[in-house]
Structure 1
Protein backbone atom coordinates (compact mmCIF):
# COMPACT_ATOMS: atom_id res chain seq x y z
CA UNK A 1 0.00 0.00 0.00
CA UNK A 2 1.46 3.33 -1.07
CA UNK A 3 0.16 5.19 1.97
CA UNK A 4 1.30 2.45 4.37
CA UNK A 5 4.77 1.49 3.12
CA UNK A 6 5.60 -0.24 6.41
CA UNK A 7 2.44 -2.38 6.63
CA UNK A 8 3.51 -5.76 8.00
CA UNK A 9 6.73 -4.30 9.42
CA UNK A 10 7.59 -4.93 13.07
CA UNK A 11 9.65 -2.37 14.98
CA UNK A 12 11.00 -1.96 18.48
CA UNK A 13 11.49 1.62 19.65
CA UNK A 14 13.56 1.32 22.79
CA UNK A 15 13.11 4.45 24.83
CA UNK A 16 9.90 5.40 23.06
CA UNK A 17 8.27 7.19 25.97
CA UNK A 18 8.90 10.76 24.84
CA UNK A 19 11.05 12.99 22.63
CA UNK A 20 12.55 11.50 19.50
CA UNK A 21 11.55 8.00 20.56
CA UNK A 22 7.89 8.97 20.65
CA UNK A 23 8.16 10.89 17.39
CA UNK A 24 9.80 7.93 15.65
CA UNK A 25 7.25 5.45 17.03
CA UNK A 26 4.33 7.58 15.84
CA UNK A 27 5.77 8.03 12.35
CA UNK A 28 6.50 4.32 12.03
CA UNK A 29 2.88 3.77 13.01
CA UNK A 30 1.73 6.32 10.46
CA UNK A 31 3.51 4.22 7.84
CA UNK A 32 1.62 1.12 9.04
CA UNK A 33 4.12 -0.61 11.31
CA UNK A 34 3.53 -2.56 14.47
CA UNK A 35 5.66 -0.81 17.08
CA UNK A 36 6.78 -2.24 20.41
CA UNK A 37 7.24 0.85 22.57
CA UNK A 38 9.54 0.28 25.53
CA UNK A 39 10.69 2.32 28.49
CA UNK A 40 10.45 2.65 32.24
CA UNK A 41 7.65 5.21 32.52
CA UNK A 42 4.35 3.38 32.69
CA UNK A 43 0.88 4.46 33.73
CA UNK A 44 0.99 5.02 37.48
CA UNK A 45 4.74 4.27 37.70
CA UNK A 46 6.93 7.10 36.43
CA UNK A 47 10.65 6.59 36.08
CA UNK A 48 13.26 8.50 38.07
CA UNK A 49 12.94 11.31 35.52
CA UNK A 50 9.56 12.23 36.99
CA UNK A 51 8.04 13.13 33.64
CA UNK A 52 4.32 12.56 32.92
CA UNK A 53 4.72 10.81 29.55
CA UNK A 54 4.24 7.01 29.48
CA UNK A 55 4.81 4.16 27.07
CA UNK A 56 1.05 3.53 27.06
CA UNK A 57 0.46 7.06 25.79
CA UNK A 58 2.97 6.58 23.00
CA UNK A 59 1.42 3.24 22.03
CA UNK A 60 -1.97 4.95 21.88
CA UNK A 61 -0.56 7.61 19.57
CA UNK A 62 0.83 4.86 17.32
CA UNK A 63 -2.65 3.31 17.17
CA UNK A 64 -4.23 6.67 16.37
CA UNK A 65 -1.70 7.21 13.58
CA UNK A 66 -2.78 4.01 11.86
CA UNK A 67 -0.27 1.51 13.18
CA UNK A 68 -0.34 -0.86 16.12
CA UNK A 69 1.32 0.16 19.36
CA UNK A 70 2.43 -2.40 21.93
CA UNK A 71 3.70 -0.93 25.22
CA UNK A 72 6.25 -3.05 27.07
CA UNK A 73 7.81 -1.93 30.35
CA UNK A 74 11.56 -2.48 30.10
CA UNK A 75 14.55 -1.19 32.02
CA UNK A 76 17.22 -1.42 29.33
CA UNK A 77 19.99 -1.60 31.92
CA UNK A 78 18.61 -4.98 32.99
CA UNK A 79 19.68 -7.63 30.47
CA UNK A 80 17.04 -10.07 31.69
CA UNK A 81 14.26 -7.59 30.90
CA UNK A 82 15.65 -6.93 27.41
CA UNK A 83 15.98 -10.70 26.86
CA UNK A 84 12.33 -11.07 27.80
CA UNK A 85 11.43 -8.33 25.31
CA UNK A 86 13.30 -10.15 22.54
CA UNK A 87 11.52 -13.38 23.42
CA UNK A 88 8.15 -11.68 23.36
CA UNK A 89 8.77 -10.11 19.95
CA UNK A 90 9.90 -13.46 18.59
CA UNK A 91 6.89 -15.35 19.95
CA UNK A 92 4.22 -12.72 19.16
CA UNK A 93 5.43 -11.22 15.90
CA UNK A 94 7.81 -13.87 14.62
CA UNK A 95 10.10 -11.24 13.16
CA UNK A 96 11.82 -7.91 13.70
CA UNK A 97 12.45 -5.41 10.91
CA UNK A 98 13.51 -2.22 12.68
CA UNK A 99 15.31 -1.64 15.97
CA UNK A 100 15.52 1.93 17.25
CA UNK A 101 17.81 2.59 20.20
CA UNK A 102 16.72 5.89 21.73
CA UNK A 103 17.30 5.14 25.40
CA UNK A 104 18.62 8.17 27.29
CA UNK A 105 17.28 9.86 30.45
CA UNK A 106 20.50 11.58 31.52
CA UNK A 107 19.77 15.22 30.68
CA UNK A 108 19.44 16.05 34.35
CA UNK A 109 23.08 15.08 34.91
CA UNK A 110 24.52 17.42 32.25
CA UNK A 111 26.65 20.30 33.54
CA UNK A 112 27.94 22.12 30.51
CA UNK A 113 31.08 24.14 31.12
CA UNK A 114 31.90 22.52 34.48
CA UNK A 115 35.23 20.59 34.61
CA UNK A 116 34.54 16.87 34.76
CA UNK A 117 36.70 16.38 37.86
CA UNK A 118 34.53 18.86 39.75
CA UNK A 119 31.45 16.76 39.04
CA UNK A 120 30.23 13.71 40.97
CA UNK A 121 31.77 10.66 39.34
CA UNK A 122 28.64 8.63 39.98
CA UNK A 123 26.47 10.92 37.82
CA UNK A 124 29.05 10.82 35.04
CA UNK A 125 29.08 7.03 35.06
CA UNK A 126 25.30 6.98 35.25
CA UNK A 127 25.22 9.12 32.09
CA UNK A 128 27.34 6.52 30.28
CA UNK A 129 25.19 3.69 31.62
CA UNK A 130 21.97 5.31 30.43
CA UNK A 131 23.30 6.67 27.15
CA UNK A 132 25.54 3.85 25.93
CA UNK A 133 25.35 0.69 28.01
CA UNK A 134 21.59 0.49 27.45
CA UNK A 135 22.14 0.61 23.69
CA UNK A 136 24.74 -2.15 23.82
CA UNK A 137 22.52 -4.42 25.90
CA UNK A 138 19.52 -3.81 23.66
CA UNK A 139 21.36 -4.45 20.42
CA UNK A 140 22.98 -7.61 21.81
CA UNK A 141 19.58 -9.14 22.53
CA UNK A 142 17.56 -7.87 19.56
CA UNK A 143 19.95 -7.61 16.61
CA UNK A 144 20.00 -11.42 16.18
CA UNK A 145 16.33 -11.26 15.13
CA UNK A 146 17.34 -8.95 12.28
CA UNK A 147 20.38 -10.99 11.29
CA UNK A 148 18.27 -14.14 11.10
CA UNK A 149 16.03 -12.51 8.51
CA UNK A 150 18.91 -11.14 6.47
CA UNK A 151 17.30 -7.71 6.25
CA UNK A 152 16.32 -4.77 8.40
CA UNK A 153 17.54 -1.60 10.02
CA UNK A 154 19.14 -0.57 13.31
CA UNK A 155 18.82 3.11 14.23
CA UNK A 156 20.97 4.68 16.94
CA UNK A 157 19.52 8.01 18.06
CA UNK A 158 22.02 10.54 19.33
CA UNK A 159 22.52 14.28 19.73
CA UNK A 160 25.42 15.16 17.50
CA UNK A 161 24.01 18.01 15.45
CA UNK A 162 26.80 20.32 16.58
CA UNK A 163 30.33 19.52 15.49
CA UNK A 164 33.14 19.56 18.00
CA UNK A 165 33.25 19.10 21.74
CA UNK A 166 29.89 19.29 23.53
CA UNK A 167 31.24 21.11 26.62
CA UNK A 168 30.58 18.20 29.01
CA UNK A 169 32.92 15.18 29.01
CA UNK A 170 30.27 12.65 30.01
CA UNK A 171 27.57 13.97 27.69
CA UNK A 172 30.00 14.26 24.80
CA UNK A 173 31.31 10.73 25.33
CA UNK A 174 27.84 9.20 25.58
CA UNK A 175 26.51 10.93 22.48
CA UNK A 176 29.49 10.31 20.21
CA UNK A 177 30.01 6.76 21.43
CA UNK A 178 26.53 5.98 20.11
CA UNK A 179 27.67 7.14 16.66
CA UNK A 180 30.62 4.74 16.82
CA UNK A 181 28.28 2.00 18.01
CA UNK A 182 26.19 2.52 14.88
CA UNK A 183 29.19 2.39 12.57
CA UNK A 184 30.47 -0.77 14.26
CA UNK A 185 27.11 -2.47 13.94
CA UNK A 186 26.97 -1.39 10.29
CA UNK A 187 30.28 -3.10 9.56
CA UNK A 188 29.35 -6.34 11.30
CA UNK A 189 25.77 -6.48 10.01
CA UNK A 190 26.43 -5.69 6.34
CA UNK A 191 27.20 -9.33 5.48
CA UNK A 192 23.77 -10.19 6.89
CA UNK A 193 21.97 -7.60 4.77
CA UNK A 194 21.12 -5.40 7.78
CA UNK A 195 21.79 -1.65 7.81
CA UNK A 196 22.73 0.43 10.85
CA UNK A 197 22.75 4.21 11.03
CA UNK A 198 23.00 6.95 13.62
CA UNK A 199 20.50 9.79 13.41
CA UNK A 200 20.30 13.15 15.13
CA UNK A 201 17.78 15.97 15.43
CA UNK A 202 18.67 19.63 15.53
CA UNK A 203 17.20 21.87 18.25
CA UNK A 204 14.55 19.45 19.45
CA UNK A 205 11.18 20.81 20.54
CA UNK A 206 10.57 17.92 22.93
CA UNK A 207 7.97 17.79 25.67
CA UNK A 208 10.63 18.75 28.21
CA UNK A 209 11.86 21.64 26.06
CA UNK A 210 8.33 22.99 25.65
CA UNK A 211 7.95 22.84 29.43
CA UNK A 212 11.31 24.59 29.86
CA UNK A 213 10.09 27.52 27.77
CA UNK A 214 6.62 27.45 29.30
CA UNK A 215 4.92 26.99 25.94
CA UNK A 216 2.88 24.38 24.10
CA UNK A 217 3.32 23.05 20.59
CA UNK A 218 0.48 25.31 19.48
CA UNK A 219 2.15 28.54 20.69
CA UNK A 220 5.79 27.47 20.66
CA UNK A 221 6.94 30.59 18.79
CA UNK A 222 6.34 32.66 21.91
CA UNK A 223 9.42 30.97 23.37
CA UNK A 224 11.65 32.73 20.85
CA UNK A 225 11.65 35.80 23.09
CA UNK A 226 13.64 33.77 25.63
CA UNK A 227 16.05 32.19 23.14
CA UNK A 228 16.23 33.38 19.54
CA UNK A 229 17.62 30.03 18.40
CA UNK A 230 14.39 28.35 19.45
CA UNK A 231 13.11 29.73 16.13
CA UNK A 232 15.08 26.97 14.40
CA UNK A 233 13.64 24.17 16.51
CA UNK A 234 11.89 21.07 15.19
CA UNK A 235 9.35 18.57 16.50
CA UNK A 236 10.34 14.98 17.38
CA UNK A 237 8.24 13.78 14.47
CA UNK A 238 10.58 15.49 11.99
CA UNK A 239 13.29 12.96 12.81
CA UNK A 240 10.58 10.31 13.05
CA UNK A 241 9.61 10.90 9.44
CA UNK A 242 13.24 10.46 8.46
CA UNK A 243 13.50 7.14 10.27
CA UNK A 244 10.25 5.91 8.70
CA UNK A 245 11.59 6.87 5.27
CA UNK A 246 14.83 4.98 5.95
CA UNK A 247 12.88 1.92 7.07
CA UNK A 248 10.88 1.96 3.83
CA UNK A 249 13.92 2.57 1.59
CA UNK A 250 14.87 -0.57 -0.37
CA UNK A 251 18.36 0.90 -0.79
CA UNK A 252 18.89 1.60 2.90
CA UNK A 253 22.12 -0.43 2.92
CA UNK A 254 23.66 2.41 0.90
CA UNK A 255 23.23 4.64 3.96
CA UNK A 256 24.56 2.10 6.45
CA UNK A 257 27.29 3.37 8.77
CA UNK A 258 26.39 7.02 8.31
CA UNK A 259 25.35 9.72 10.77
CA UNK A 260 22.25 11.34 9.26
CA UNK A 261 20.63 14.52 10.54
CA UNK A 262 16.91 15.24 10.38
CA UNK A 263 17.39 18.03 7.83
CA UNK A 264 19.54 15.78 5.62
CA UNK A 265 16.85 13.11 5.69
CA UNK A 266 14.21 15.72 4.85
CA UNK A 267 16.17 16.78 1.79
CA UNK A 268 16.91 13.18 0.79
CA UNK A 269 13.32 11.94 1.06
CA UNK A 270 11.40 15.16 0.44
CA UNK A 271 9.33 15.55 3.61
CA UNK A 272 8.60 18.44 5.97
CA UNK A 273 7.94 18.75 9.68
CA UNK A 274 4.35 18.45 10.92
CA UNK A 275 3.86 22.23 10.68
CA UNK A 276 4.98 22.31 7.05
CA UNK A 277 8.37 23.85 7.84
CA UNK A 278 11.65 22.22 6.87
CA UNK A 279 14.08 23.18 9.67
CA UNK A 280 17.79 22.98 8.83
CA UNK A 281 19.68 23.52 12.07
CA UNK A 282 23.16 24.52 10.79
CA UNK A 283 21.79 26.77 8.06
CA UNK A 284 19.14 28.36 10.30
CA UNK A 285 21.67 28.84 13.11
CA UNK A 286 24.09 30.60 10.77
CA UNK A 287 21.31 32.78 9.35
CA UNK A 288 20.24 33.94 12.81
CA UNK A 289 23.81 34.56 13.97
CA UNK A 290 24.63 36.61 10.87
CA UNK A 291 21.27 38.43 10.91
CA UNK A 292 20.60 37.26 7.36
CA UNK A 293 17.18 36.21 8.58
CA UNK A 294 15.30 37.25 11.70
CA UNK A 295 14.20 34.57 14.18
CA UNK A 296 10.60 35.28 13.16
CA UNK A 297 11.50 34.62 9.53
CA UNK A 298 13.23 31.38 10.44
CA UNK A 299 10.30 30.24 12.59
CA UNK A 300 7.77 31.03 9.92
CA UNK A 301 9.70 29.78 6.95
CA UNK A 302 9.46 26.57 5.02
Structure 2
Protein backbone atom coordinates (compact mmCIF):
# COMPACT_ATOMS: atom_id res chain seq x y z
CA UNK A 1 0.00 0.00 0.00
CA UNK A 2 1.38 3.34 -0.99
CA UNK A 3 0.41 6.73 0.28
CA UNK A 4 0.53 9.75 -1.96
CA UNK A 5 2.30 12.39 0.08
CA UNK A 6 2.38 14.96 -2.67
CA UNK A 7 1.59 18.24 -0.93
CA UNK A 8 -1.50 20.08 -2.01
CA UNK A 9 -0.85 23.29 -3.94
CA UNK A 10 -1.38 26.53 -2.02
CA UNK A 11 -5.10 27.38 -2.11
CA UNK A 12 -4.63 30.76 -3.79
CA UNK A 13 -1.95 29.77 -6.29
CA UNK A 14 -2.79 31.50 -9.57
CA UNK A 15 -5.06 34.06 -7.91
CA UNK A 16 -4.34 37.75 -8.41
CA UNK A 17 -4.94 40.10 -5.50
CA UNK A 18 -4.66 43.83 -4.95
CA UNK A 19 -4.22 45.18 -1.44
CA UNK A 20 -4.71 48.93 -1.65
CA UNK A 21 -3.02 50.46 1.36
CA UNK A 22 -0.53 47.71 2.21
CA UNK A 23 2.32 49.80 3.58
CA UNK A 24 1.81 48.82 7.21
CA UNK A 25 -0.66 47.54 9.79
CA UNK A 26 -3.64 45.46 8.72
CA UNK A 27 -3.02 46.00 5.01
CA UNK A 28 0.49 44.62 5.24
CA UNK A 29 -0.66 41.64 7.33
CA UNK A 30 -3.48 40.80 4.90
CA UNK A 31 -1.09 41.01 1.95
CA UNK A 32 1.40 38.68 3.62
CA UNK A 33 -1.27 36.12 4.46
CA UNK A 34 -2.54 36.17 0.88
CA UNK A 35 1.04 35.52 -0.16
CA UNK A 36 1.29 32.66 2.33
CA UNK A 37 -1.72 31.13 0.55
CA UNK A 38 0.21 31.33 -2.74
CA UNK A 39 -1.35 34.40 -4.33
CA UNK A 40 0.26 37.05 -6.48
CA UNK A 41 -0.32 40.23 -4.50
CA UNK A 42 -0.01 43.76 -5.80
CA UNK A 43 0.68 45.99 -2.81
CA UNK A 44 0.17 49.72 -3.04
CA UNK A 45 0.66 52.82 -0.98
CA UNK A 46 2.40 56.18 -0.99
CA UNK A 47 5.44 55.40 1.16
CA UNK A 48 8.37 53.93 -0.74
CA UNK A 49 12.06 53.71 -0.06
CA UNK A 50 12.45 56.87 -2.12
CA UNK A 51 9.43 58.88 -0.99
CA UNK A 52 7.49 59.46 2.23
CA UNK A 53 3.75 60.18 2.37
CA UNK A 54 2.02 62.80 4.52
CA UNK A 55 1.85 60.19 7.31
CA UNK A 56 5.53 60.96 7.80
CA UNK A 57 6.79 57.46 8.53
CA UNK A 58 9.92 56.09 6.88
CA UNK A 59 10.18 52.75 8.66
CA UNK A 60 7.58 50.87 6.55
CA UNK A 61 7.46 50.83 2.76
CA UNK A 62 5.50 49.03 0.08
CA UNK A 63 8.73 47.47 -1.20
CA UNK A 64 9.25 45.85 2.19
CA UNK A 65 5.68 44.59 2.18
CA UNK A 66 6.16 43.03 -1.26
CA UNK A 67 9.32 41.30 -0.03
CA UNK A 68 7.41 39.89 2.94
CA UNK A 69 4.69 38.59 0.61
CA UNK A 70 7.29 36.81 -1.51
CA UNK A 71 9.07 35.41 1.54
CA UNK A 72 5.73 34.00 2.74
CA UNK A 73 5.37 31.98 -0.44
CA UNK A 74 3.52 34.25 -2.84
CA UNK A 75 4.64 36.86 -5.33
CA UNK A 76 4.69 40.41 -4.04
CA UNK A 77 4.57 43.29 -6.48
CA UNK A 78 5.01 46.82 -5.12
CA UNK A 79 3.35 49.61 -7.12
CA UNK A 80 3.53 53.15 -5.69
CA UNK A 81 0.00 54.51 -5.94
CA UNK A 82 -1.92 57.50 -4.63
CA UNK A 83 -5.47 56.17 -4.54
CA UNK A 84 -6.88 59.69 -4.62
CA UNK A 85 -5.53 60.03 -8.16
CA UNK A 86 -7.82 58.20 -10.64
CA UNK A 87 -5.12 58.21 -13.31
CA UNK A 88 -2.61 56.50 -11.01
CA UNK A 89 -5.20 53.91 -10.05
CA UNK A 90 -6.11 53.38 -13.71
CA UNK A 91 -2.44 52.80 -14.54
CA UNK A 92 -2.24 50.27 -11.70
CA UNK A 93 -5.31 48.34 -12.88
CA UNK A 94 -4.13 48.47 -16.50
CA UNK A 95 -0.83 46.94 -15.40
CA UNK A 96 -2.59 44.10 -13.56
CA UNK A 97 -4.76 43.50 -16.62
CA UNK A 98 -1.76 43.55 -18.93
CA UNK A 99 0.28 41.18 -16.77
CA UNK A 100 -2.44 38.74 -15.71
CA UNK A 101 -5.75 39.55 -17.39
CA UNK A 102 -7.70 39.11 -14.18
CA UNK A 103 -8.21 40.34 -10.62
CA UNK A 104 -9.66 37.96 -8.04
CA UNK A 105 -9.45 39.85 -4.76
CA UNK A 106 -9.51 43.57 -4.03
CA UNK A 107 -8.75 44.69 -0.48
CA UNK A 108 -9.56 48.34 0.17
CA UNK A 109 -7.47 49.17 3.23
CA UNK A 110 -6.45 52.73 2.35
CA UNK A 111 -6.52 55.17 5.27
CA UNK A 112 -3.40 57.05 6.31
CA UNK A 113 -5.22 59.63 8.42
CA UNK A 114 -3.74 58.90 11.81
CA UNK A 115 -1.86 62.19 11.83
CA UNK A 116 -5.21 64.01 11.64
CA UNK A 117 -7.23 62.24 14.31
CA UNK A 118 -5.28 62.68 17.53
CA UNK A 119 -5.91 66.39 17.97
CA UNK A 120 -9.52 66.07 16.80
CA UNK A 121 -10.77 63.36 19.17
CA UNK A 122 -13.57 64.60 21.39
CA UNK A 123 -14.00 67.87 19.51
CA UNK A 124 -17.19 69.20 17.99
CA UNK A 125 -17.48 69.24 14.22
CA UNK A 126 -17.10 73.01 14.07
CA UNK A 127 -14.01 72.92 16.30
CA UNK A 128 -12.05 70.79 13.84
CA UNK A 129 -10.28 72.54 10.94
CA UNK A 130 -12.48 71.87 7.93
CA UNK A 131 -9.53 70.92 5.75
CA UNK A 132 -8.50 68.26 8.27
CA UNK A 133 -12.02 66.84 8.47
CA UNK A 134 -12.47 66.69 4.73
CA UNK A 135 -9.03 65.13 4.34
CA UNK A 136 -10.15 62.26 6.60
CA UNK A 137 -13.07 61.63 4.27
CA UNK A 138 -10.82 61.80 1.22
CA UNK A 139 -8.36 59.31 2.70
CA UNK A 140 -10.90 56.91 4.17
CA UNK A 141 -13.82 57.12 1.74
CA UNK A 142 -12.88 58.70 -1.58
CA UNK A 143 -9.84 56.44 -1.98
CA UNK A 144 -12.03 53.36 -1.63
CA UNK A 145 -14.54 54.66 -4.14
CA UNK A 146 -11.90 55.58 -6.71
CA UNK A 147 -10.26 52.18 -6.37
CA UNK A 148 -13.48 50.17 -6.56
CA UNK A 149 -14.83 52.16 -9.49
CA UNK A 150 -11.61 51.59 -11.43
CA UNK A 151 -10.80 47.99 -10.47
CA UNK A 152 -14.21 46.31 -10.47
CA UNK A 153 -14.57 46.01 -14.25
CA UNK A 154 -11.47 43.78 -14.16
CA UNK A 155 -12.55 41.91 -11.04
CA UNK A 156 -15.97 41.09 -12.53
CA UNK A 157 -14.46 39.71 -15.72
CA UNK A 158 -14.36 36.29 -14.04
CA UNK A 159 -16.92 34.93 -11.53
CA UNK A 160 -16.04 34.62 -7.87
CA UNK A 161 -14.39 38.00 -7.29
CA UNK A 162 -14.13 39.28 -3.72
CA UNK A 163 -13.96 42.84 -2.38
CA UNK A 164 -12.84 43.35 1.22
CA UNK A 165 -13.56 46.73 2.80
CA UNK A 166 -11.34 47.21 5.84
CA UNK A 167 -12.59 49.59 8.51
CA UNK A 168 -12.52 50.16 12.27
CA UNK A 169 -15.45 48.87 14.28
CA UNK A 170 -18.11 46.31 13.48
CA UNK A 171 -21.65 47.29 12.50
CA UNK A 172 -22.87 46.34 15.97
CA UNK A 173 -20.11 48.25 17.74
CA UNK A 174 -20.42 51.42 15.70
CA UNK A 175 -24.22 51.42 15.88
CA UNK A 176 -24.14 52.41 19.55
CA UNK A 177 -20.88 54.36 19.74
CA UNK A 178 -19.93 57.74 18.37
CA UNK A 179 -16.48 57.38 16.84
CA UNK A 180 -14.65 60.33 18.38
CA UNK A 181 -15.81 63.05 15.95
CA UNK A 182 -18.15 63.34 12.99
CA UNK A 183 -15.54 63.19 10.25
CA UNK A 184 -13.84 60.11 11.72
CA UNK A 185 -17.20 58.50 12.43
CA UNK A 186 -18.24 58.89 8.80
CA UNK A 187 -14.90 57.63 7.52
CA UNK A 188 -15.16 54.45 9.59
CA UNK A 189 -18.84 53.73 8.97
CA UNK A 190 -18.80 54.34 5.21
CA UNK A 191 -16.81 51.18 4.28
CA UNK A 192 -19.45 49.02 5.96
CA UNK A 193 -22.11 50.50 3.73
CA UNK A 194 -19.81 50.26 0.72
CA UNK A 195 -19.47 46.52 1.27
CA UNK A 196 -23.23 46.18 1.58
CA UNK A 197 -23.85 48.03 -1.67
CA UNK A 198 -21.05 46.35 -3.59
CA UNK A 199 -22.25 42.90 -2.50
CA UNK A 200 -25.59 43.70 -4.13
CA UNK A 201 -23.93 44.91 -7.33
CA UNK A 202 -21.44 42.03 -7.57
CA UNK A 203 -24.01 39.29 -7.13
CA UNK A 204 -24.86 39.16 -10.84
CA UNK A 205 -21.22 38.41 -11.69
CA UNK A 206 -20.84 35.74 -9.03
CA UNK A 207 -18.81 37.96 -6.72
CA UNK A 208 -19.34 39.44 -3.30
CA UNK A 209 -18.08 42.05 -0.88
CA UNK A 210 -17.52 42.00 2.86
CA UNK A 211 -16.46 44.53 5.46
CA UNK A 212 -13.79 43.54 7.97
CA UNK A 213 -12.77 45.21 11.23
CA UNK A 214 -9.43 43.85 12.45
CA UNK A 215 -10.00 45.28 15.94
CA UNK A 216 -7.43 47.00 18.09
CA UNK A 217 -4.13 46.18 16.47
CA UNK A 218 -0.62 46.48 17.78
CA UNK A 219 0.40 48.06 14.50
CA UNK A 220 3.72 49.77 13.99
CA UNK A 221 2.17 53.18 14.63
CA UNK A 222 0.23 52.04 17.69
CA UNK A 223 3.27 50.50 19.33
CA UNK A 224 5.24 53.65 18.69
CA UNK A 225 2.45 55.82 20.08
CA UNK A 226 2.53 53.88 23.36
CA UNK A 227 6.33 53.83 23.45
CA UNK A 228 6.55 50.04 23.45
CA UNK A 229 7.54 47.23 21.09
CA UNK A 230 5.88 43.95 20.21
CA UNK A 231 8.08 42.33 22.86
CA UNK A 232 7.24 44.89 25.57
CA UNK A 233 3.69 45.92 24.63
CA UNK A 234 2.26 44.83 27.99
CA UNK A 235 4.15 47.70 29.62
CA UNK A 236 1.44 49.99 28.19
CA UNK A 237 -1.37 48.27 30.10
CA UNK A 238 -0.82 50.22 33.32
CA UNK A 239 -1.68 53.46 31.58
CA UNK A 240 -4.19 52.00 29.10
CA UNK A 241 -5.70 48.71 30.35
CA UNK A 242 -7.91 48.37 27.27
CA UNK A 243 -4.76 47.84 25.23
CA UNK A 244 -4.79 44.35 26.69
CA UNK A 245 -7.29 43.19 24.05
CA UNK A 246 -5.04 44.29 21.20
CA UNK A 247 -3.60 41.81 18.73
CA UNK A 248 -0.52 41.82 16.55
CA UNK A 249 -1.26 42.13 12.82
CA UNK A 250 1.71 39.81 12.14
| TM-score normalized by the length of structure 2 | 0.92
- Mapped to 2, the partners of 1:203 and 1:140 lie a distance apart of 29
Alignment of 1:95 onto 2:95: no
- Answer yes or no: is the 8 Å Cα contact 1:213–1:226 preserved in 2: no
Partner of 2:221: 208
Partner of 1:190: 203
Equivalent residue runs for 1:1-302 within 5 Å: 2=8, 4-52=10-58, 53-110=60-117, 111-161=120-170, 162-163=173-174, 164-237=177-250
- Mapped to 2, the partners of 1:173 and 1:129 lie a distance apart of 11
- Mapped to 1, the partners of 2:116 and 2:203 lie a distance apart of 35
Deviation per CA, 1:215-272: give whole Å up to 9, x if none. Answer: 21122222222211111101224xxxxxxxxxxxxxxxxxxxxxxxxxxxxxxxxxxx
Moved more, 225-234 or 125-134: 225-234
Deviation per CA, 1:267-286: give whole Å up to 9, x if none. Answer: xxxxxxxxxxxxxxxxxxxx
- Answer yes or no: is the 8 Å Cα contact 2:21–2:43 preserved in 1: yes
Q: 3-state DSSP class of the match of 2:140?
A: helix
- Mapped to 2, the partners of 1:197 and 1:233 lie a distance apart of 22
- Mapped to 2, the partners of 1:124 and 1:115 lie a distance apart of 11
- Answer yes or no: is the 8 Å Cα contact 1:37–1:70 preserved in 2: yes
- Mapped to 1, the partners of 2:148 and 2:195 lie a distance apart of 10
| C-alpha RMSD of matched pairs (Å) | 1.2
- Answer yes or no: is the 8 Å Cα contact 1:3–1:31 preserved in 2: no
- Answer yes or no: is the 8 Å Cα contact 1:19–1:207 preserved in 2: yes
- Answer yes or no: is the 8 Å Cα contact 2:125–2:182 preserved in 1: yes
- Answer yes or no: is the 8 Å Cα contact 1:205–1:234 preserved in 2: yes
- Mapped to 1, the partners of 2:231 and 2:79 lie a distance apart of 30
- Mapped to 1, the partners of 2:234 and 2:102 lie a distance apart of 42
Q: 3-state DSSP class of the match of 1:64?
A: helix
Partner of 1:278: none
- Answer yes or no: is the 8 Å Cα contact 1:147–1:189 preserved in 2: yes
Aligned length: 237
Deviation per CA, 1:126-161: give whole Å up to 9, x if none. Answer: 110010000000001111111111221000000014
Q: Where does structure 1 lack aligned partners over 5 or more consecutive residues? A: 238-302
- Answer yes or no: is the 8 Å Cα contact 2:55–2:114 preserved in 1: no
Moved more, 155-164 or 27-36: 155-164
Q: 3-state DSSP class of the match of 2:157?
A: helix
- Mapped to 1, the partners of 2:9 and 2:246 lie a distance apart of 27
Q: 3-state DSSP class of the match of 2:179?
A: coil
